[in-house]
Amino acid sequence: MTAPTIKLPAPLFAKLSPHPFLLRNLTSAADPSLPPARTNGRGTQDTRPLHIKASSLSHAHGSSLVRLGDTTVLCGVRGELLPVERIPQFRPVEGTREDVESGGDDGVIAGRGEMRDYDLLVPNIELATGSAPQFLPGVPPTALAQTLSTRVYSLLHSTGLVGVRDLRVWCNPKKDGEGKEGGEDVKMEGAEEEEEEQDGVLEEDRVVAYWVLYIDLLFVSFDGNPFDAAWAAVVAALRNTRLPVARWDPEREMVVCSRTERRKLDVRGLPVACTAAVFEEKELGEVGTGVVEGRHWLLLDPDRLEETLCREAITMVVDCSDGETRIKSIEKQGGTSIGRELVRGFAGIAEKRWQEVKKAMK
């Protein structure tokens, strides 16, 4: 006499035993030649649909809305002027504006020090109440939100996505000596100009202020893979940013901004983040501290359920905008399944992901 079997509906099976349910889907293909499929029907290397919309906020200098499956994040960029008098231990920039801004790669590398020391890029991530069950109202920022903010901050500086050249506000005596009055350019004439000519001393170019970019991200809906979505939103928002043209007003001795003229940021390249999680045949409770034996699968663009079932993940940031694949960053979290060979193969997956994100950006 055979024991009776109990058949559970798939949704109930997934809630009661999520790990065996996902494992069953990955290993129960009728045809062994077919690639394994996840519980949501995607293949292991299939990503969710990506939608990017720029200019989503009307009161920000740049904004974007990114939807990656059921993960939705809104990004707004707003610039504020920071006078050099308010910067502790400010180091004046030596040289004329033309010499400094045409310094090539050396000038770009030197400018990254200014951006870090003066905190010119300030990202902040908030996980909205109701975006996922674990995010409750009235609690301090979660560890996940702080970790994501730190990763975005580090990647902004390491990739050099925004150059300090776009954030400097110069005082150029030759050009700023021409004020605007009644809609026409009026040159400064009179005693001050005569005194400068008599003394033979001309004021040099100098940096009087910096633009500080506040990059705020709000997760409206959270369903896994938050870093890829957040980074895509940051890149799209910065590419959409238009800052008012700022100049030094010698008469009022202050920086003034134009109400009509705006200047686009010179965003360098298109770095794209690609994340995958490692799903292991054994459950987390069965895994010891040593090397895990058994099969494992690399799940590209994991959702919230898959992230809870995986203890190892890899994120690679690549940029193929100049015709070559340049790896900007590699991050690996937990586990021992990912080795050098898998990382080399993952670079090809990241290249394909870059093409998908580029298409969505357009």
Structure confidence by residue, pLDDT tens digits, 21-37? 888 888 875 566 677 88
Per-residue model confidence (pLDDT) at position 325: 92
Burial class (CB in 10 A: 0-12, 13-18, 19+), 189: exposed
Q: What is the mean pLDDT of the chain?
A: 85
How many other CB atoms are there within 10 angstroms of residue 38's CB atom? Answer: 19
CA angle 158, 92, 82 (to 5 degrees): 70
- Per-residue pLDDT at 1: 59
Q: Please check whether residue 65 is in contact with residue 229, taking contact to mean a CB–CB distance below 8 angstroms.
A: no
Total residue length of the chain:
362
Provide the 3-class DSSP secondary structure of residue 231: helix
Task: Judge contact between 211 and 81, C-beta under 8 A.
Answer: yes
Other C-beta atoms closer than 10 Å to the C-beta of 326 total 14
Return phi, psi of residue 293, to 5°: -100, 145
* CA–CA dist 164, 82 (Å, integer): 13
pLDDT at 176 over 60: no
For a pLDDT cut of 90, what percent of the chain falls above it?
A: 57
The reported pTM is 0.86
**Residues 6+ away with beta carbon under 8 Å from 327:** 316, 317, 318, 347, 350
All domains in the chain, ordered by first residue = 50-264 (3.30.230.70), 272-361 (no CATH)
**Can you name the residues that pair with 54 across neighbouring β-strands?**
64
pLDDT at 113: 85
> What mean pLDDT comes out for the span 267-276?
96
Q: Could you tell me which residues are beta bridge partners of residue 170?
A: 207
Q: CB neighbours of 180 closer than 8 A, spacing ≥ 6?
A: 186
pLDDT band at residue 93, thresholds of 50, 70 and 90?
A: confident
Residues 6 or more apart whose Cβ sits within 8 Å of residue 227: 148, 151, 152, 273, 275, 315
Confidence of residue 102 (pLDDT cuts 50, 70, 90): confident
Helix (H) or strand (E) holding 75: strand 71-83
| 245-264 per-residue burial string, b: 16 or more CB within 10 A, e: under 16 | ebbbebeeeebbeeeeeeee
92 CB-near residues (< 8 Å, 6+ apart): 84, 206, 207
Confidence at residue 182, expressed as pLDDT on a 0 to 100 scale: 38
Residue 306's identity, in one-letter code, is E
Give the containing element (helix H, strand E) for 152.
Answer: helix 143-159
Helix (H, G, I), strand (E, B) or coil at 14: helix
